[in-house]
Amino acid sequence: MKTRVFSGARPTGRQHIGNYLGAIQNYVALQNSGEFDCLYCIVDYHALTTMEEVGVSHLRGNIIDMAADWLAAGLDPNKATIFVQSHVPQVTELMLCLSMVTPIGQLMRSPSFKEKVKHHPDNVNYGLLGYPVLMAADILLYKAEVVPVGEDQLAHLELAREIVRRFNYHFGPTFPEPQPRLTSFPRVMGIDGKYKMSKSLDNYIELAADEPTTRELVGQMVTDPTRRLRTDPGHPEICNVYTLHRFFSPPARVAAVEQGCRSAALGCVECKAMLADDMNAQLAEFRARRATFSEDYIRDVLNEGAKKAAPLAEATLLEVKGKMGLA
Ligand code: SF4
């Protein structure tokens, strides 16, 4: 039997370069490796924990846009299960069951809870506190054994593993302890060069942006801050433009950029124009494929994904309820 992988992502709408290099590429690689049974979930309930960020009226559209980008980037509904969290409602019941073995103190000490409280002091809701329990339920509902995570998600996954240990101790062996699969993805900085690329910071380049928009945004990217004059030699290792060249440009061009930058033979305007060309070339196929998807097709994919996930969810929930004396 293949090892089961689960990963969830909040519906942030159209995906940006950072999402692609940081997560989506990895999803596609896991799916295509043939070693894993992959479940990829758009976690809409999680989005509601910070409603002010998402805007409820955008939620449905964001789900469709995100799924369109996933599919255009190579996720294949015939190889992976692609679905929306709330379409498999057993997750909420499992979350309630798991909450019985989750100490509240641990949730309150969670660094990300404290961070969210700092950013949303007017809406410190119960859903926010229970976020890690819902995340555990997402994973355990499908008895996933592997979860691709970035360093910043490790603490939540550790909490999920503790929930497993407590549940198994009280009610007998039920869940495998999900193992993290650390993705060695790059930290993609935004066009401001200061912060990680993010929608909330408005420093992103969408995968599906058209060619002129991509060119314009690349043109706005902050470069090596020590290079003040065109004649100053640059330091590609601290330049975000160079980082993206390494992902979007052919090796010969990457080498030429590095050399031209260090020797000051290459100016930043020209360097960015080359990057924009390479990004547009690399993303052309993605954009063409994306344009062929109708909203109905995407909804069908998500509905079929939920139908595939539901029997797994139902079996787990029945087992859990039986062990907890509920069925
Ligand atoms: Fe960055 Fe390119 Fe300018 Fe060098 S030449 S500082 S790599 S933009």
- pLDDT for position 188: 86
* Under 8 Å between Cβ of 220 and 273: no
Q: Are 36 and 30 in contact (CB under 8 A)?
A: yes
Fold classification of 211-289 (topology level):
Tyrosyl-Transfer RNA Synthetase (1.10.240)
Residue among 189, 241, 253 whose CB has most ligand 1 atoms within 8 A, to mutate: 241
Name the segment(s) of the chain with CATH classification 3.40.50.620. 3-188+294-323
Annotated active-site residue 116? The verdict is: yes
**Quick one: DSSP state of residue 23?**
I
Name the one residue in this structure whose structure tokens are 């004059």: 229
Average pLDDT over the chain reads 94
- For residue 110, pLDDT over 70 is answered with yes
Q: What ranges make up the beta strands (E) of the chain? A: 3-9, 36-42, 81-84, 146-149, 179-182
Q: Report the chain's C-alpha Rg in angstroms.
A: 22
Query: Percent of the chain scored above 90 by pLDDT?
Result: 81
Q: Is 143 a catalytic residue?
A: no
* In the chain, ranges of CATH 1.10.240.10 domains: 211-289
Record: fold of 3-188+294-323: Rossmann fold (3.40.50)
> How would residue 54 be classed by pLDDT, with cut points 50, 70 and 90?
low
**What distance in Å separates the CA atoms of residue 96 and residue 102, rounded to the nearest whole number?**
10
Residue scoring higher pLDDT (118 or 277): 277
For residue 42, is pLDDT > 70?
yes
pLDDT in tens, 125-162: 888 899 999 999 999 999 999 999 877 778 889 999 99
Average pLDDT over residues 102-124: 86
CB 219 within 8 A of CB 276: yes
pLDDT confidence tier of residue 182, bands split at 50, 70 and 90: confident
Find the distance separating the first CA and the last CA of the chain, reported in whole Å.
29
Q: Quote the pLDDT of residue 185.
A: 65
Cβ–Cβ contacts within 10 Å for residue 307, how many?
A: 13
- pTM metric for this prediction: 0.93
Marked catalytic residue, from 79, 143, 196, 321:
196
Pocket of ligand 1 (CB under 6 A): 223-224, 227, 234, 236, 239, 241-242, 257, 261, 266, 268, 271-272
Ligand 1 pocket test target in 191, 221, 242, 277 with most atoms within 8 Å of CB: 242
